[in-house]
Amino acid sequence: MTDPLDLPVHLTPLTEAHRELGARLIEFGGWLMPVQYGSIIDEHRTVRQRVGLFDLSHMGELYIEGPDAGAALDAALVSDPSSLAIGRAHYSMICTPHGGIIDDLIVYRLADARFLVVANAGNAATVSDALAGRLDGFRAVLDDRSLATGLLAVQGPRAAEVLAPLTDVDLTTLRYYAATEGTVAGIGGLVARTGYTGEDGFEVFVETSQTVALWDALLEAVRAAGGQPVGLGARDTLRLEAGMPLYGNELDLDTNPYEAGLGRVVKLGKSGDFVGRAALEKVARDGPSRRLVGLIVEGRGIARHGYPVWSGDRRSGVVTSGTQSPTLGVPIAMAYVAPDDAEPGTVVDIEIRDTRVPARVVALPFYRRDA
Amino acid sequence: MVPTDLRYTNDHEWVRVVGDEATIGITAYAADQLGDIVFVDLPDVGRSVEQSAAFGVVESVKAVSDLFAPVSGEVTETNPDLGRNPELVNSDPYGAGWMVRVRLGDAAQLDALLDPDAYDALIAAG
């Protein structure tokens, strides 16, 4: 077995803390990250029922600043960041001229002329380069602070009660997909009500040098609320239950937003051109050639990434993610299938090790928290 | 220290032989490496398994792993509890988490397996 430390990976400031907590560390997106501290299922259920603490310092943080920052992002991304109110955020994507997805993003408007774009770790450098190029001709500059930023997430129904005593931010007025500057445990940073678990929760961005102190304070509070640290393994099962795509599984350069069920994110009505507009207008007009669906496996077996999907003798598509759902207790999956097979209730077959196992198309998400 | 009454494979299966009956499972080390086990796919009773060949599959939350037969023989029984409670493989890998029983065809095949000391050394080396 290769020692993960032999690989050229970035370390978050918390690598030692994760080791001391008994985490199993893996390379993910160019970073050495905790995949689990103990049982993935335990960590998953802790987030659904109480609260979990995540180190997400591998994510990319790109700041776009200047009088044209909003207009530049409107031209660079499929969404319309210029329409965001200050302190609000939205989900977005950056596409190629052919409409393929380079990455999916969260865009925060921090001030009139200042935005934060959060990219996936494995794509951060690519997005940074592409965005920098697309700012050409606009009065806006990009500051890639990925390596200078620590990011911790507190997620779960008790997230607000954990964070409230530690922060000067009024969480009762901080809405979902909103963000504000503030302090947590005396450490200044950005507090956002966003996440990737399907639960209420917060993400706190701080300077790298403050990450360990923030982690220590949050871990103590999370534990006092019956929570625990949570690794990328449970992060994956949580997002899958919540029907959220993972870049590299559901999204890639050969996938357009409409296939992925994310057409609502593409703002064709915005003024001006944007990268991918012509290609995406065509897909919007003609309809996608395949669709992302949720599947519940009804036979024996677990569907996994890459398994073929059949409709009778016709190859319908392929599974993009699958696991045993800790919350539902059944195997769940997401898959691309032919448009004809995408209606909820349709039964398809998943090829699991030479056996065809029936699975039913269901509406996403698999899990939705009580409002 | 692993149980001393078993023989082991390089792929982290164990076998316990009583008379001509061989009981097969995976080791605590393997179960721990896999993490939470959520599905075990085993051959039907009456099927034959071949030494060193894949005879089934064990799945954790994140990964799929083949099971390799320590010995050849005809399957006489599979653990009926693993369908509903696959986590028994994590909680009691050498006991309630056993997987299959086979009628041992050739006892000499046991000589090809690791004794407890050799298996201990294998997992100590990582």
pLDDT for the residue A1? 44
Q: How far is A249 from chain B (nearest CA, A)?
A: 14
Over 80: is that where the pLDDT of A154 sits? yes
What percentage of chain B reaches a pLDDT higher than 70? 100
Calculated CA dihedral for residues A161, A163, A164, A168, nearest 10 degrees:
180
Write out the two tokens for B25.
Answer: 């499972």
Q: Report pLDDT for A27.
A: 95
Q: What are phi and psi of B3, to 5 degrees?
A: -55, 140
Which amino acid, A355?
Answer: T
Instruction: Indicate yes or no: CB of A353 within 8 angstroms of CB of B57.
Output: yes
Cα Dmax for chain B: 37
CB-based contact, A237 to chain B, within 8 Å: yes
Q: Which residue of A has its CA nearest to B125?
A: A1
How close is the nearest chain A Cα to the Cα of B83, in Å? 9
8 Å CB contact of A233 and B57:
no
- Going across the sheet that includes A10-11, the strands are A10-11, A31-36, A24-28
**Stretch A167-195: mean pLDDT:** 98
Q: Can you name the CATH fold of A290-362?
A: Elongation Factor Tu (Ef-tu); domain 3 (2.40.30)
Q: Which of A35, A236, A302 sits opposite B38 (nearest CB)?
A: A302
For B8-12, what is the mean pLDDT? 97
Running DSSP on this structure, what letter comes out for residue A363? P
- CA-closest candidate to residue B25, choices B78, B85, B104: B78
Q: Do B61 and A353 touch (CB under 8 A)?
A: no
Which of B57, B61, B126 is opposite residue A323, by nearest beta carbon? Answer: B61
Say yes or no to pLDDT of A370 above 60: yes
Q: What pLDDT sits at residue A3?
A: 52
Q: How far apart are CA A293 and CA A363, in angstroms?
A: 7
Taking only the tens place, the pLDDT of each residue in A202-212 is 999 999 999 99
Residue-level pLDDT at B62: 86
**Per residue in B103-116, pLDDT tens?**
998 999 999 999 99
pLDDT digits (tens, 9 = 90+) for A194-249: 999 999 999 999 999 999 999 999 999 999 999 999 999 999 999 999 999 999 99
Considering only CB atoms, B35 lies closest to which of A40, A236, A304, namely A40
Cβ A52 vs Cβ A227: under 8 Å? yes
pLDDT at A2 over 70: no
Amino acid identity of A54? Answer: F
Residue A4 has pLDDT above 90, yes or no: no
- Distance in angstroms (rounded) separating the CA atoms of residues A77 and A73: 6
Asked whether residue A84 carries a pLDDT value surpassing 60, the answer given is yes
Q: What's the distance, CA A303 to chain centroid?
A: 21
Interchain pair B39, A236: CB under 8 A = no
Tokens read off for A77: 């991304």
What is the value of ipTM here, to two decimals?
A: 0.88
Statement: residue A191 has pLDDT above 50 = yes
Residue type, A16: E
A41 at the B interface (CB within 8 A)?
yes
CA-based nearest residue to B34, from B55, B4, B6, B11: B11
Please tell me which residue of chain B has the smallest CA distance to A234: B61
Q: How many residues does chain A have?
A: 371
Question: Which residue in B has a C-alpha nearest to residue A329's C-alpha?
Answer: B38
Side by side, the strands of the sheet bearing A141-144 are: A89-95, A101-111, A114-119, A60-65, A141-144
Res A5 pLDDT > 80 = no
Query: Mean pLDDT in chain A?
Result: 96
Residue A188 has pLDDT above 90, yes or no: yes
Can you tell me the mean pLDDT for B12-28? 97
- Every domain of chain A with CATH number 2.40.30.110 lies at 290-362
Other beta carbons within 10 Å of A37: 19
Rounded mean pLDDT, A79-98: 98
Give A286-334 pLDDT, tens digit per residue.
999 999 999 999 999 999 999 999 999 999 999 999 999 999 999 999 9
The tokens of A23 are what?
């985490």
- In this prediction, residue A7 carries a pLDDT of 57
Q: Which residues of A touch B125 (CB under 8 A)?
A: none
- Can you give B82-117 as a three-state secondary structure string? HCCCCCHHHHCCCCCCCCEEEEECCHHHHHHCECHH
Q: In this predicted structure, what is the pLDDT of residue A143?
A: 98
- Residue A19: Cβ within 10 Å count: 12
- Confidence tier at A371 by pLDDT (50, 70, 90): low
Class of domain A1-288 as given by CATH = alpha beta
Partners of residue A331 in chain B, C-beta under 8 Å: 39
- Evaluate if residue A8 carries a pLDDT over 80: no
CATH number for region B7-120: 2.40.50.100
Q: How far is A41 from chain B (nearest CA, A)?
A: 7
At A6, the pLDDT band (50, 70, 90 cuts) reads: low
Q: What is the pLDDT of residue A45?
A: 98
- Compute the count of residue pairs across chains A and B with CB atoms less than 8 Å apart: 38
When comparing pLDDT for A48 and A371, which is higher? A48
Angle CA(B71)–CA(B76)–CA(B81) in degrees, nearest 5? 100
Select the more confidently predicted residue: A239 or A3. A239
Mean residue pLDDT across chain B: 96
Cα nearest neighbour of B41 on chain A: A301
Q: What share of chain A is helix, strand, coil (3-state, %, to 5)?
A: 25, 35, 40
